[in-house]
Amino acid sequence: MNREHLSKAFSTFLLLIIATLVTVALWVRYQVQPTTRDGKVAADIVQVTPDVGGWVTSVAVQDNEAVKKGQPLLTIDQSRYQLALSAAQAALNGQQIALAQAIRDDRRNHALSALVDVETIEKGTEKVGLLQSAVAKAKAALDLAQLNLDRTTLRAPVDGVVSNMTLQPGDYLSAGKEAFALVDTDTLRIEGYFVETKIPAINIGDKADIRLLGVAGIIHGHVESIAGGIVNRERDASANMLDNIQPEYTYVRLAQRIPVRIAIDQVPKGMRLIAGQTASVEILPRPGETTEQRSWPW
């Protein structure tokens, strides 16, 4: 009977030890070690915007299509821009003819300086200078007309994936108004949001393992940068320019989340990264550093 009671007591004690160890391990894992389940796949989003306006005459890409930098995306009606280019070329030709005639007259006046009064010579020289400026201005107008014509073909500014493309031939685009988005695939990265208590254990260059939600495989990367600041929600300038200080939290102090940028070093074969995916990020110990040393710096 005593042996049976002793066995039960020992089993209960052993279970308590195991439960304690598991609880401590989980607490260290999720509260102390530099890990977070609050991570995202991120990328720079380019708002593709035409520099000139007009009717869309052709669309060369489809929604979600991968494109290369410099690849034509769409074309805006070129008719008026071709006419503007022709008019600029004609204006330049006229100014060049007038300048050539003025130069000939000025040279003749100087050659006949004994027969031509000084005022006439000075006016001829001044006319040459004015026409030279007019020719330069006409050349600039011609270059601008050519630039506008060139920009009727909208090209991909970066390598990326077309997103939210709904344009069709016949739609009208205004200059400076976003046409669609382009996900810059060269800037794909992981952004992990770590509570501020874990930031001291994270350094630039630390290796990181990333796991996407519902996707098998581990992405390897390294810490590229740590945010230099976040919004201070305790100070908010009000309409009267006085600081709006929030009441004191007597018993609860909420840990802030600090963005940490993770550069991607290696992606498992066949894994597709989509900006906005949810990720878990684990910062690995540095060479020669044990997990215990990182978790318990004291």
Higher pLDDT, 36 or 7: 36
**124 or 160, greater pLDDT:** 160
Q: How confident is the model at residue 298 (pLDDT cuts 50, 70, 90)?
A: very low
User: Model confidence over 132-158: pLDDT tens digits?
Assistant: 999 999 999 999 999 999 999 999 999
- pLDDT at 82 > cutoff 90: yes
* Contact (CB, 8 A) for 189 and 262: yes
Q: What is the pLDDT of residue 287?
A: 75
Shared domain check, 171 and 108: no
Q: What is the average pLDDT score of the chain?
A: 86
pLDDT value of residue 140: 97
Q: What integer pLDDT is reported at residue 288 of this predicted model?
A: 66
Answer yes or no: is 236 within a domain: yes
pLDDT of residue 132: 93
Question: What's the mean pLDDT in 46-63?
Answer: 95
Domain assignment present for 37: no
Within this chain, do residues 145 and 250 fall inside the same structural domain, yes or no? Answer: no
Residue 294: what pLDDT? 55
124: nearest Cα among 137, 110, 138: 110
pLDDT above 70: residue 224: yes
Q: Are 206 and 192 in contact (CB under 8 A)?
A: no
Query: Is 266 within a domain?
Result: yes
Cα angle: 287, vertex 292, 298; to 5 degrees: 105
- Residue 63: inside a domain: yes
Output the pTM of the full model.
0.74
Alpha carbon 147 to its chain centroid, in Å, reads: 25
What percent of the chain lies above the pLDDT cut of 70? 84
* Residue with the larger pLDDT of the pair 293 and 275: 275
Residues 98 and 143 in one domain: yes
In a shared domain, residues 126 and 204: no
Residue 175 region by backbone torsions, left for phi larger than 0, else alpha for psi between -120 and 50, else beta: beta
Instruction: Please tell me the predicted confidence (pLDDT) of residue 242.
Output: 67
Counting beta carbons within 10 angstroms of the beta carbon of residue 177, is it exposed (0 to 12), middle (13 to 18) or buried (19 or more)?
exposed
How many Å apart are CA 54 and CA 76, to the nearest integer? 6
The total number of residues written for the chain in this structure:
298
Whether residues 138 and 165 fall in one domain: no
Backbone angles phi, psi at 154, to 5 degrees: -85, 125
- Mean pLDDT of the 43-54 span: 95
Quick count: other Cβ atoms within 10 Å of Cβ 256? 15
Does residue 161 or residue 17 have the better pLDDT?
A: 161
CATH number at residue 208: 2.40.30.170
DSSP 157: S
What the block records as the tokens of 137 is 């201005």
**Residues 171 and 121 occupy one common structural domain:** no
Give the range of the structural domain holding residue 289, as residue numbers without chain letter: 188-295
Question: Residues 158, 263: one domain?
Answer: no
